[in-house]
Amino acid sequence: MELRIEALQPELVGPVRRLLDLIYADDRVVRPDFLSELPEVAAGAGDHEVLVAVAAETLGVVAVAPHATRYAEITQPGESEVRILAVAPEARGHGVGRRLVKAATTAAQAHGARHLVLSTRPGPDRAAARRLYASCGFIRQAHRDLTRGPERRLLAYAKAVTTT
């Protein structure tokens, strides 16, 4: 499988929306304004980056938000945040998520960040994602966990990025 990671382009907006709908259907992870702004981001506007894994079809997507931008929720100065990381079910276990994390790390470096952070849900349905994060160098940051309502806890992770 010839996989490439590229910035969101206008022709990929529809496939990215469908992928996010499939992965996060009833999850409320993806903010409605994020979805509505995808065309503007594809046109080069916006304060965050959306990177897409593409082979014959759209296989994954990652969004990276620098500190003090609208989608950065847990960043501190010197950090960028992974806000969305989604891989199509049929592409899981084939290195797509790892390539997207690597692209997110490169984007964070380009933003001048020293760390890349993310948050994810606890529970068995996200265990594979947490294993991926750990294998990519993310370390649990329990003191930065988020709570959104009585049943909505998010676990925080961070990794150092090298800016050479």
Lowest mean pLDDT among 4-18, 27-41, 47-61, 87-101: 27-41
What is the total count of domains within the chain? 1
The token duo for 62 is 């990652």
Check: CB of residue 81 under 8 Å from CB of residue 52: no
Q: What is the mean pLDDT of residues 21-47?
A: 79
Q: CA-to-CA distance for 28 and 157, rounded, in angstroms?
A: 20
Measured in degrees and rounded to the nearest 5, phi and psi for residue 156 equal: -95, 145
Residue range(s) defining the domain that contains residue 80? 4-160
Q: Count Cβ atoms below 10 Å from residue 5 Cβ, excluding itself.
A: 20
Give the DSSP H/E element, type plus range, for residue 105. helix 96-110
Q: How many CB atoms lie within 10 A of CB 107?
A: 25
The token duo for 91 is: 């592409």
**If pLDDT is split at 50, 70 and 90, which confidence band does 37 have?**
confident
Instruction: Give residue 44's pLDDT.
Output: 80
How does pLDDT run across 46-92, given as a tens digit for each residue?
788 999 999 999 999 999 999 999 889 999 999 999 999 999 999 99
**Is pLDDT of 26 > 70?**
no
Give the number of other Cβ atoms within 10 Å of residue 146's Cβ: 12
Question: Which domain CATH number covers 92?
Answer: 3.40.630.30
Report pLDDT for 158: 98
d(CA 107, CA 84): 14
Can you say whether residue 68 is alpha, beta or left, with left for phi > 0 and alpha for psi between -120 and 50 degrees?
Answer: left
CA pair distance 23, 82, nearest whole angstrom:
16
The total number of residues shown for the chain amounts to 164
